[in-house]
Amino acid sequence: MGSPMALNLIKTGCDVTVWNRTKSKCDPLISMGAKYKPSPEEVTAACDVTFAMLADPESAMEVACGKHGAVSGMGPGKGYVDVSTVDGGTSKLISGHIKASGASFLEAPVSGSKKPAEDGQLIFLTAGDKSLYETVTPFLDIMGKSRFYLGEVGNGAAMKLIVNMIMGSMMATFSEGLLLSEKVGLDPNVLVEVVSKGAISAPMYALKGPSMVKSLYPTAFPLKHQQKDMRLALGLAESVSQPTPISAAANELYKVAKSHGLSDSDFSAVIEALKGKVQS
C-alpha cells in the first residue's frame, strides 16, 4: 500500500525519497520522479519527514530500530510518521526510540485498503506529537480524505481495533441475514438491495454482499487478520472489564471459519461458518 500513497504525493509535486527492501518495487516511483536511498537510515537523514508503511509489527520495528534503521538518521527537527498497523505496545517502543533521538513521532494507522489508497481516500487515525501532526496535515490530506488526532501514542491502534471489532460483528450478522433470507425462500440479492436503501446501509454490505451470495470471497482483508483484530479487541475489552458479548460470539464464528481452512479468504467468508454441512 505504500506505493499508491507515495505516488499521490509525487503527483501533487512533493519532493519524495523512497526505499524498499526490494529495490525493484521502487522503480515505478523513481520513473515518476522519486529519489531513492539504499537504507532507511539514509532516507531519514535526507528528509524532514518520513512516512513508514510496513506489513507487520516485526518489520515496523526492524525498519525503525534495526541496523541502518530509520532511528540512526533521525534527530531534532525531524519527524517520523508510522502509518503501519501495529499494536499499541510496538507503537510505543518505536516512539520511544525515535524520540530518544530528539525527533518527533506520530502513529497513524490507516483505515481503508488498496483502492482507497490509490484514490487518496484513506482515513488516518493518528496519535503522538501534536506539532508533527500539524506539520504533516497537508500530506495526510493528499493521501486521505479524513484524519483524526487521538492523543497519546497507542490511541490510534486502539481506535482501529474498535472499528474492526464492530466491522467483524456487522459482517457476521449480515451473514446470518443472507442465509436466513435464502432458507425462507427470499432472494438474498434482494436483501442486499433492501439493506442498501435504509438506515443500516453500509458501503461494506453493498460491496461484498453480491459476491457472498455467490459464495465468492476475493481477498481484500484476510479473514485471519480480521480474527486476530477481534481477538486483540476482546483482549482490550477484557483489560478494562467491558463486556462485549456480540463480538465474543462473532469471534467464535471467525474461529470456525479458520478451522474450515478459510484463513486466507476475505473475512466475508465468515458466512461459511453458518452453513450446514452437506450430508452424505
Identify residues 211-240 at the interface with a second copy (CB under 8 A): 231, 233, 236-238, 240
Residue 214 or 277: the one with the smaller Cβ distance to a second copy is 277
| CA–centroid distance for 190 within its chain | 31
Residue 66 or 210: the one with the smaller Cβ distance to a second copy is 210
Q: Which is nearest to 157 in space by CA: 57, 263, 51, 266?
A: 57
Q: How many residues would you count in the chain?
A: 280
In angstroms, give the least distance from the CB of 133 to a second copy. Answer: 14
In angstroms, give the least distance from the CB of 213 to a second copy. Answer: 14
160 is catalytic: yes
Residue 63 or 110: the one with the smaller Cβ distance to a second copy is 110
Q: Print the binding letters for residues 22-41 with a second copy: x by CB under 8 A, - otherwise.
A: --------------------
Residue 80 or 124: the one with the smaller Cβ distance to a second copy is 124
Identify residues 91-120 at the interface with a second copy (CB under 8 A): 111-112
CA 185 – CA 76 distance, rounded (Å): 66
Q: Which of 84, 95, 247, 268 binds a second copy (CB under 8 A)?
A: 247
The continuous run of DSSP H or E covering 30 comes out as helix 27-31
CA 4 – CA 239 distance, rounded (Å): 37
Identify residues 251-270 at the interface with a second copy (CB under 8 A): 251-253, 255-256, 258-261
Q: Which residues pair with 222 in a beta bridge?
A: 266
Q: Print the binding letters for residues 171-210 with a second copy: x by CB under 8 A, - otherwise.
A: -xxx-xx-xxx-xxxx---xx-xxx-xxxxxxxx--x---
Residue 15 or 176: the one with the smaller Cβ distance to a second copy is 176
Per-residue burial over 144-174, b = 16 or more CB atoms within 10 Å of its CB, e = otherwise: beebebbeebbbbbbbbbbebbebbbbbbeb
In angstroms, give the least distance from the CB of 264 to a second copy. Answer: 13
Catalytic residue among 99, 115, 160, 277: 160
| Cα dist from 266 to 94, 209, 211, 254, whole Å | 30, 12, 11, 11
Q: Is 151 in the site for a second copy (CB under 8 A)?
A: yes
Cell numbers for 87? 499494536
Contact predicate 102/75, CB 8 Å: yes
